[in-house]
Amino acid sequence: MEPRRNVGAFFLNRIEYFNRVKQHLMKNLLLIVTLLFISSCKSTQTTALEDETAIRNILKQQQKAWSDNDLEGFMNGYWESDELTYYSGGKITKGYNTTLANYIRKYPTKKETGKLNFEIANITKINDDAYWVMGNYFLTRDAGDANGTFMIVFKRINGEWKIIGDSSC
């Protein structure tokens, strides 16, 4: 009978051993799950620097598109909505399509669009989803150079920065 007691003790020791291993694994698993949860809860809000960089990149893309006489590409930076507001020359224009049509009418060829450069004077946060940008624009073109100032309002819409208001003179 002695061998049976040893077999029983052996299995009892094994069960205790596996219970300790199981507890250790469960603690580690709990730790891993907790760390994964915490890392997945990282804020989706961007920093002001990330926002400003994204806005500057849009303005760089606009400079290139304008300078290539790609007015539709230039308008990619704008909110495609009837609520888009553009103010210039003492006149308010509403709507993406109206604004694009005005650009196409006033700047039909490379001679009129020329090369565009922006000089950003200030980018100011309004709230987590809006900034206003002030600066100067410089058009070097065959039809005669044109320079002026602008103030535009960017809003984060569906995760993308879009110009919702533009005042240029």
Number of domains in the chain: 2
Do 72 and 20 share a domain, yes or no? no
Do 2 and 26 share a domain, yes or no? yes
pTM for the whole structure: 0.74
Do 33 and 53 share a domain, yes or no? no
How are strands ordered across the β-sheet holding 160-168?
91-94, 85-88, 160-168, 146-157, 130-140, 115-127
Do 92 and 114 share a domain, yes or no? yes
Say what the pLDDT of residue 25 is: 57
Please provide the average confidence, as pLDDT, over all residues in the chain: 87
Residue 13 lies in domain: 1-42
Do 30 and 107 share a domain, yes or no? no
Do 120 and 164 share a domain, yes or no? yes
pLDDT beyond 90 at 35: no
